[in-house]
Amino acid sequence: MNRPISNRWVLLAVAASAFALGCETGGVGDPCIPEDEYQAGFPGYSADEVNVESRSFQCETRVCLVNHFQGRVSCPYGQSESQISSLAPNDPARCRIPGTSGAVATDEITAPVKAQFSKRQADKSVYCSCRCKNAAGSTEDGARYCECPSGFKCEKLLDDLGLGSAELAGFYCVKDGTSYVKADVEASPLCTFGSSSDQSDFYCGGNGKNPPFN
């Protein structure tokens, strides 16, 4: 399965349309898998970054937000160099292209992937969102903005760096209680699968498998 590589927000800004920036609120909070994850060599996101995919066809808002998230949505436990070289593509511990089983070589992710932080998994940091204010905190510039639904707040995520990013810079609807605190996230253990009696703070579901596993 081949899909185009999605550009980072700073590169998408010039071409982004008002509709693509998310003027509709329907579907805010729905899960999404960024297009980057359909690339075999993509190693995953960094928790130090915010990324906005402004043409996501998985989202009614057309905005898939990646808000200070580490790794891949589709691979919560990540994979190491040794796993890549020693395990078959369809092994449950391997990362795969979303929606595939690893039955063929083109399904496998070829880069090492860091595990997600157990306290900031994808449900807290990767989902459909919309732009609710510009970088100055205003909605009076003629662009179209959304009002965040219940359970979300309008939070500033991207500054206007003057690199053609003005149409994406600003505030986005973020789930209540999920504001990024660097120290708290970095103190969180990584997703790790242990025995059935050791599935507390380190366990990230899937019985230790990296979904999707068909």
pTM metric for this prediction: 0.84
Compute and round to an integer the Cα radius of gyration of the chain. Answer: 18
Position 4 scores a pLDDT of: 42
- Residue 17: exposed, middle, or buried by beta-carbon count in 10 A (0-12, 13-18, 19+)? exposed
Phi, psi of 110 (to 5 degrees): -95, -5
pLDDT at 69: 98
**Nearest Cα to Cα of residue 38 among 96, 114, 91:** 96
The pLDDT assigned to 161 comes to 82
Give residue 13's pLDDT: 34
Residue 212: what pLDDT? 53
pLDDT of residue 8: 43
Q: Return the minimum-mean-pLDDT range out of 3-12, 57-66, 152-161, 195-204.
A: 3-12
CA atoms within 13 A of residue 168's CA, in its CB half-sphere = 27
Query: Would you say the C-alpha torsion 18, 22, 23, 24 has a positive or negative sign?
Result: positive
pLDDT tens digit sequence for 110-157: 999 999 999 999 999 999 999 999 999 999 999 999 999 999 999 999
pLDDT tens, position by position, 21-69: 445 556 999 999 999 999 999 999 999 999 999 999 999 999 999 999 9
Q: What is the C-alpha separation between 52 and 67, in angstroms, rounded?
A: 8
Q: What is the 3-state secondary structure (H, E, C) of the chain?
A: CCCCCCCCHHHHCCCCCCCCCCCCCCCCCCCCCCHHHHCCCCCCECCCCEEEECCCCCCCCCCEEEECCCEECCECCCECHHHHHHCCCCCCCCCECCCCCCCCHHHECCCCECCCECCCCHHHHEEECCEEECCCCCCCCCCCCCCCCCCEEEEEEECCCCCCCCCCCEEEEEECCCCCCHHHHHHCCECCCCCCCCCCCCCCCHHHCCCCCC
Among 180, 172, 188, which Cα is nearest to 135's?
172
Stronger pLDDT, 103 or 4, i.e. the higher one: 103
- Residue pLDDT, tens place only, 149-177: 999 999 999 998 876 678 899 999 999 99
